[in-house]
Each structure stands twice: as C-alpha cells, then as structure tokens.
Structure 1
Amino acid sequence: MKIVDLKATTIALPLEAPLRHAHGAHWGRFVRTIVEVVTDDGLSGWGEMGGGGESAEQSVRALLPYLKGHDPLQLEQLRWKIMNPVAGLYNNRMQLHAAIEMACMDVAGKALGIRACDLIGGALRETIPFASYLFYRYPGESHGGEVSPDEIVAEARRQKAANGFTTHKLKGGVFSPDHDIEVYRALADAFPGDSFRLDPNNAWTVEEAIRVAEAVADIRNDYLEDFCFGLEGMRRLRQRISIPTATNVVVVNFEHLAANIRLEAVDVVLLDTTFWGGLRQAYRAGQILEAFQFGASVHSSGEAGIQLASMLHLGAALPNLGFAADAHYHHLVDDIIVGGKLRYENGAIRLPEGPGLGVEVDRAKLDQYAEYFREVGGYAYDRDPQRPDWYAIHPEMRFATPESLSGGA
C-alpha cells in the first residue's frame, strides 16, 4: 500500500448562530480543510484541519513529493518527513501533519480492517461524554442572541433536552467578569447535580482570575480553564486557589508539557488532535500526563465530522480521560459525512464501528460545502463582525460594552 495522491478541499459549514469569544467570533460558519490521501489500491483516507483557502490547499498539495510512495502505516516516518524539529523552525507543519496523519490512520485502518484507535493501543471505552459548550451568540436564523443569564440558561436547557448533557461549559470573556459570574451561577442554580466549567480564553489578569475563582468556588467545578495567560500566570493562579485549572492554550506541545510538569502550573491539559500535530501525538501527551498524574481531556477546535471522529478515537484510548470532552459539533447545522451528523445520546457520542476513523465523506456534501465556501469565504477569528473597530488586548481584554448585551453592535 503506497500513497499516490494527496488532495485538499476547503469547505464552510454553517452554524446555528455566530459564536462570540474573548478574541473575536466565529462568523456563523466553520472553515475547514478536508484532506484526502489516495493509495495505489484505490482506497481513500480522510483528514481535517482548521482554516482553509487556496494557500492552505496548496500547502497540503506541496507535501505530495515528500509522501508519494509512502506506506501510510509508517506513521513515525511520516512525522519525521513532515515536521522534524529542524524543519519545524522554518515551516510549522503541525496541523498539516495532523490532517495527513489522520488520513493515513484512516486508510491504514480500512486496509487492515481495524479502527484508528487500534493503531494507538485500542479502546478503553465505546462512548465518549461531552460538555454542552455554551457561547454568547449573535442572532441566527432560528437560534442565537443569548447574552443574559436567563437566555444562556434557556439555551442550556434546550441543549440538555436534545443531547443529554450533564456537564456545562460557558465560554466567557466577552463581557465583564462580573457578567460571567452572574451567568455561571445561574447555570449552576438551574442544573443541580451537573458539573460546570468556565473558559474566558485567557481574558483576565491573574488578580482578576483569582477574584472570579473565589466568587464561583462553591459551584461543582470540573476545572477553571485558561483563566489567565501563560504558564507563569496559570502557575500563580493555581498556587492561590483550590479549584483545578485547565488549559488548551499554554500547553500545546511537548516542550510546554515538560515545563508544565516541572512548574506544576496547570492541572488538566485538553488535548487537540490538530493542535498537537495529530492523533498519535495527542495520545502520547496523554500517556505522559498519566505517568505524572496530571489530568487529560479532549479539546475542540471547531470540528466537522472527520476531526470529531479523531477526537472520539482519542477519547476512547486515553486511560486518564477524567472529564467530558469539548465539542463545537452541536452548533453545526450539517456535516459532510455519510449519514449526516453523528448523534449524541445521554450526553455522549459512540465510537464509530467501522474501520479507520469509522466515518466516510459524502462527496456530494463535500462539493456542496466547498461551493458554499466559495460563496461566503473565510473570516478573521480575531475580529468581531458586529464591532469592527474592536480588537483584543492582553492581559486586560476590551470587553463588550453594556449596550452590546442585547447582541447588537
């Protein structure tokens, strides 16, 4: 089995409503690059990474000379061909490698009749729990516009009824810390017995983060995620509070991981199958975290069904998956995989049963959403479409003003 071709297609998938976060917004769609690895025996494997457009597609296709004739099962060789440390100084190919590795594990699994998780040790669980992942949203066609505590609680009730979530994550940092405290406490009051987590995307100073942590200390917190920026900031925060802390921002590679273990800066690391350079790399990081008795969970970077499948395989294999995973997936209106969107049951998604990643791309849907991308284009993650002059400043963010609480400009 050898690689004979490498293809890339940018798609845009519509969201129920635009998602607001501390650094900007998702403008009503996710933009993803879908990677296809084709082998000499006619099999295709699928991968996915964030962002897209002509430059992203060209970056994928430019790696074909590195990989033509490569055996997809030789995953360690793949890593060194694409992102060895020296080349990485000049060409950061982490997400390119992640998508191609994902596709190689998919096609190798199909050829061997085994699942992607079986290539990293097999599954410890067949269902992976997820959190509700609640955002302040701009209005969409039928949903969205949530800003107030009552509005966020109503959306959480809708998501719980539809998907069975028992863990609720609030994406804060858009408005003042006091507003996030009010909304977070309203969620805790509305769902006694459930667990909660708050993520302001590093929007607060250490001192502000300590104040918020003290204000929500009595809630059943899983952890407080990225309350401030940097390993030193998170270390200072962790020294001063009793609630576990988490990150997907300040620990995103093995150098960061080693420093985090030495500093004991963050308790729980959220592992991403693209940010870490692939499913295997995320799993390796999880093993290191297990050895040093740190927590692990699965991060979401705005996935379509292919990356979601990789997240499910990671969650199935991680021995120390101590928390419900994150996913933006329930905010999507549609997907490009055969059979449509994967379904939540009791707040969890079942590991696909088929070989490889266990999902297959619907080529008609791929074409449909590639055309949609050509119609609507990309967007700037670090800009807010309703606040054109706004931009984020660290360590003290420029929060939304009171007049924007209704969801307008």
Structure 2
Amino acid sequence: MAKSKKVSFTGALGETLDARLELPLGPPRAYAIFAHCFSCSKNILAASRISRALAERGIAVLRFDFTGLGASQGDFANTNFTSNVQDLIKAADFLRDEYAPATLLVGHSLGGAAVIAAARQIGEIEAVATLGAPADAEHVKRHFTGKIEEIEEKGEAEVNVGGQTFRIRKQFLDDIAGRTLDDIVAGLDAALLVAHSPRDEVVGIDNATRLFVAARHPKSFLSLDDADHLLSEEEDARHAARVIAAWAERYAFTTRLPDAPKAPRETGSAMVKETGLGRYHSQAVAGPHHFFVDEPRGVGGDDGGPNPYELLSAALAACTTITLRMYANHKDWDCAAFSTEVIHEREKGAKPNEGADIFHRVIRVDEELDEAQWEKILEIANKCPVHRTLERGTTIKTCKGD
C-alpha cells in the first residue's frame, strides 16, 4: 500500500495548485509527475489508480490539478496548453526543491502531449510515458467543434466537456493552432513509451503511430488492448502501471537496489545488510528467500518492510500455524484452514532489561469445532518450537566477523 500525502505548490499563473504525492513503502527509487487529461482532475480514476500502482512499485508520483481545475485555484478560462506545460515545469521545481528531482513524466490524453512538450524543459527527465495521447494539441478542439465560430466571433464561449461546463477563450484556440508534436518528440532527449488502445474512440490509434514513428530510440509501444480512452477499468490502469514501472526501471530509476547479501549455509540462519537507501532500510536473506526490513516512518524509517518485532511476531504466528497443520495431518484430521494472529507488546512501566514482553496469540479455524478439539489445538500450539524458544529464553553469542 502506498501512502498518499496532500501537498500544494504555486503554478505558472501564480495560483496555488492542489496535489497529492503518492509515496511508496520504503525509499523511493524514482520521482514522477502525472499529468491528467483535458478538463479532468488529479482524482480521475486513471490518474489515481496509475499513480498509486506506480508507488507500489517504488516510484513516488506527484499528481496535481492544472490551474483552474479540480481543487486548484485560478480561472480555467485563463489557461491554455502552454500554461499546462508551465504548470508541469512548476511541479518539477516543487519536487526538486522539496523532495528530489523528477526523472519520469507520465501523461494521459492531452496531458500526454503536455509531458512531451515539457520534458526538454525539465533537465532531469530521463523517461516519458504517454497514455492515449494526441499527436497534436489541436486535437482537443473536437470537444467543442460546435462552439468554435462563437469563440472566434465573441472571444469566448461556454462548452460542455464530460458533463461539465467550461469557458473557452480565443486565446486557447490561438495557443493550440498548428501545435504539433512531431518535431518535439523527434528531438526528445529521453526514453519514450507510447501506450494506446487500438479501440480508443476519442484519440485514434493513428496518433500513437505518429508519435512512435517520429520519436528516436529508445522508444517502446504498449497496446492497451480493449481499454477505453479513460482507462475506466481498474485492471487496464494497473496493467499500464506495471509495464510503465518495469520499463522505467531501466531509464528513470535514480537508486539501484544493491545485490542481496550472501545467505548463510546453515539451516535456520539469516543475514541482514543495510541497503544504504534509507536510515534503517535493510535487505534480509534467509535460505533462498530475500525481503526488506525497516522501521516505521514514525521512528525515522521508511516503512519499507516489517520491523524486527513484527518479524518475531510473524515467526511465532507462522510456527504455530504450521505446527497445527502438521498435527492435523499426522492425526488424519480433515480440518479447515488454520490462521494465527500475534500481537506483541511491552508491559507498561517495565524496565528495559526486565522480561516484560507479552505475545497475544489468537488462533482461528475456518470451521466450527467442539470444546475438546479446541482444547487439543491450544495444547499443541503451546508446543510449537518458536513458542518454546521464546518461553524458555535463549543464549546469544556475538563475535567479530571476518
């Protein structure tokens, strides 16, 4: 699960722009900015789902409302494609100043055109991914075709886009007139991933062809199969995020995970080594298995994995569950699934060296059992090896390594 943090920054027109920063569990391996579609907001499903899915894969994502949209300040009528590009640059400035430079831009629909236009003006960008993006900004005029004459004559008109009414001024039309992306994408100094659905009825697949053909290598194409333009189905959004994250690891990740430490040969042994990516973030190896351990953010960690006492609780819970299953199998007891919950706490007021640790253990079975069966289950649970180890105490011998 990613952590969503409310933030804000000043946009291109001096207004306060509302944003959310999706932070991964553990140290971010890259920072990205997500640009939403025309007249949408940062909370549209495609933006929120893809941003969160990328965060689950180690990428911190800033999604924000362009000036005059969503919860951001400003008058939408004063904005245009150029101001959207400038808002993206301001978003990059914010990340650079407050967190770390963005190396990945992701844009949906007209937001995809905006990230292509903004990429060369943000020095640290290494990768750009577009979703259903048009090959020219003028494509957006299809949303208000019947109002263009009125806009040209009166200087502005109200148009309905997606059930919402917006004021479009002539300066918006002037700004997008003839604004194609062919030359811009050809000069892009970043890897490009063009994601598009062949069934997109809003921005046709021919736009993806133009962008892909015009771009230099490294470039990639992702077919979004049966997805609609807004990526309304959650699995379509998550699929896009999975591919973007895997692709971005090659081009946009600023931190690389160190090689896993070598596991001890002895059975029941483990090795833990710091990754150097956070204050406490470390990589654990036990046999052929490896995972991360950390401390919660509240004590200075990055929450990139379970903390040591959570691992200890998990060891007791796992040993209890496995021991019960072994007993049931040995007795040919056709029993439903066992589950064990363990909560660790320290007695209040206990001194550091006092044996005041308490493990609260709750055992559950996915079926109704009689009292005699429960009595036997509790008896066997108290005989699990980890339970006995904790109960009788241990001897720890520490020495200097080679």
Q: Which has the higher contact order (CA 8 A, sep 6+)?
A: 1
TM value normalised by structure 1: 0.30
TM value normalised by structure 2: 0.30
Structure possessing the higher radius of gyration over alpha carbons? 2
Q: By percentage of residues, which structure has more strand? A: 2
